[in-house]
Amino acid sequence: MKSKSTIIVELQSEIYALISTINKLYEQYQKGRLNIDFFQKAYKTSMQDLIRLNLYLRKKGIKLTKIVKEGNFIKDYNRAIQIMNTFSNRNLQINLEMPYYRKNSRYNKILENSALYLPGITSEITSSFITLMDALKLGSPTGSDYIINMFSSLEHHIRKFPGLDVIYKKINKLHNHTLKNLTSLQQNSNYREGLVDHIYNVFKEFQTMLNLEI
């Protein structure tokens, strides 16, 4: 069995490879050497792997910042994060529904016993959170059924992520509370505003769990 220090060194190499890939892809794309379709697919895969690695490290109580700093590649890492933030701010429409898994990658060998298999990605959950909050703020013209369905959809996406049990329980509790207060949901704007506040707090907690910033 590999020691913790050996695994950390291997993960450090994997993290550096991923951020280098993101940086190089962006550089080549900016120079016009990559078409948009190829860039989106390759960028999506690298970003997903980086997010999964971050979730795995959090689960094991290992700080990503420590690995990056000990590897002396903070500058390269921050550049990759800036690129990711740039595309997030531009709302680049990349389909992040199903990640690409490489059966023989070093990453899978390192995590083969971790049960870290994520069939979804953050945009699905983020989109569900935002849609649900918007529907509550505006008041759904289709009544409470739409809101209830949005809760179910959000729960479905959250369940795809191992390690988000706390997030799921909080959303499920709000969902159940809503089911018991359908009249208030339909007629009481203050009740809906309170729900939005609670959902937003859970959303911020979800974002914090996936935070990649140093």
pLDDT of residue 114 exceeding 70, the answer is no
* Co-location of 127 and 104 in the same domain: no
Print the domain residue range for 166.
Answer: 122-209
Q: Which residue has the higher pLDDT, 18 or 110?
A: 18
* Co-location of 30 and 104 in the same domain: yes
* Co-location of 25 and 106 in the same domain: yes
- What is the percent of the chain with per-residue pLDDT over 70, rounded to a whole number? 75
* Co-location of 21 and 99 in the same domain: yes
Which of 82-91, 156-165, 169-178 ranks highest by mean pLDDT? Answer: 169-178
Task: Name the nearest CA neighbour of 8 among 63, 48, 59.
Answer: 63
Domain boundary among 62, 88, 110: 110
- State residue 56's pLDDT score: 78
* Co-location of 85 and 133 in the same domain: no
* Co-location of 20 and 94 in the same domain: yes
Answer whether 0.75 is exceeded by the pTM: no
Q: Within a domain: residue 117?
A: no
pLDDT grade, residue 3 (50/70/90)?
low
* Co-location of 44 and 88 in the same domain: yes
Domain boundary among 110, 145, 166: 110
